[in-house]
Amino acid sequence: DAGITQSPRHKVTETGTPVTLRCHQTENHRYMYWYRQDPGHGLRLIHYSYGVKDTDKGEVSDGYSVSRSKTEDFLLTLESATSSQTSVYFCATKKQGRDGYTFGSGTRLTVV
Amino acid sequence: AQKITQTQPGMFVQEKEAVTLDCTYDTSDQSYGLFWYKQPSSGEMIFLIYQGSYDEQNATEGRYSLNFQKARKSANLVISASQLGDSAMYFCAMREAFQGGGADGLTFGKGTHLIIQP
């Protein structure tokens, strides 16, 4: 199923350049999340959204910003990419209540 | 302090044996949920099983069961009759309430890399 689409799937960028990752959902879920996954750390929350234009910071938000102008889209921006932001980025969504979470396929970002 | 602790970075298990993956958690909330996810080498996150803090019975889903010991804050995943296809990373996660907008979200452990040997 293609309930959540992350784009791009892979990206290589240079240090200091801006990068935007996109998460698009067709589930009409209220809540959306960005996580990063690094070896030895599991997944860590960067930012989350609880509605259009409503976002908040997670555990590792420094160097990242997000925007949600439509229910279906949640954008993650690295204003000036650094090598420490090389990671796999996962988007997730949740409807409401005790429902489970749906994850996208991930975006592998390499900053050189 | 870590909220989710998985003490086994890696495990080797013989095919057809049962496997227990350890997970302990830390929370002062009365209402919370515990999840297990599988991540094969292809990278996707696959939901396996869920246990709510008020659920009296241990959750089961096919070959997966969750050994929930609330007083010990333990939520171990048990895989019966392991198969070669069970080789993957396994993550324990806890749902907890966030500050903003009535949201909640997942906090993950660092994972256990399970390898099933023939």
- For B31-49, how does the pLDDT look when each residue is reduced to its tens digit (9 = 90+)? 899 999 999 999 999 999 9
Distance, CA of B75 to CA of B67 (rounded, Å): 6
Greatest Cα-to-Cα distance within chain A, rounded to the nearest angstrom? 41
Residue B37's nearest CA partner among B20, B49, B26, B51 is: B49
- Which residues 34-93 in chain B show a CB within 8 A of chain A? 35, 37, 43-45, 47, 50, 52, 91, 93
Residue B40's nearest CA partner among B107, B91, B109 is: B91
Distance, CA of A82 to CA of A104 (rounded, Å): 24
- Average pLDDT over chain B reads 94
**Per-residue pLDDT tens digits of chain A, which is 112 residues long:** 559 999 999 999 999 999 999 999 999 999 999 999 998 889 999 999 999 999 999 999 999 999 999 999 999 999 999 999 999 999 999 977 666 899 999 999 999 9
Residue B95's nearest CA partner among A56, A92, A63 is: A92
Summarised one tens digit per residue, pLDDT across range A45-54 is 999 999 999 9
Q: Where are the alpha helices (DSSP H) in chain A?
A: none
pLDDT at B1 (0 to 100): 56
Query: CA torsion A76→A79→A81→A85, rounded to 10°?
Result: -40
Confidence of residue B58 (pLDDT cuts 50, 70, 90): very high
Residue of A nearest to B33 (CA): A98
Instruction: Give residues with Cβ within 8 angstroms of A112, minimum separation 6.
Output: A12, A13, A14, A15, A83
Residue recorded with tokens 């070896």: A39
Instruction: Give residues with Cβ within 8 angstroms of A60, minimum separation 6.
Output: A36, A44, A45, A46
By a Cβ cutoff of 8 Å, what residues of chain A touch chain B? Answer: 31, 33, 35, 40-45, 48, 50-51, 54-56, 58-59, 88, 90, 92, 94, 98, 100-101, 103, 105-106
User: Residue B20: beta bridge partners?
Assistant: B78
Tokens of B65: 């069961």
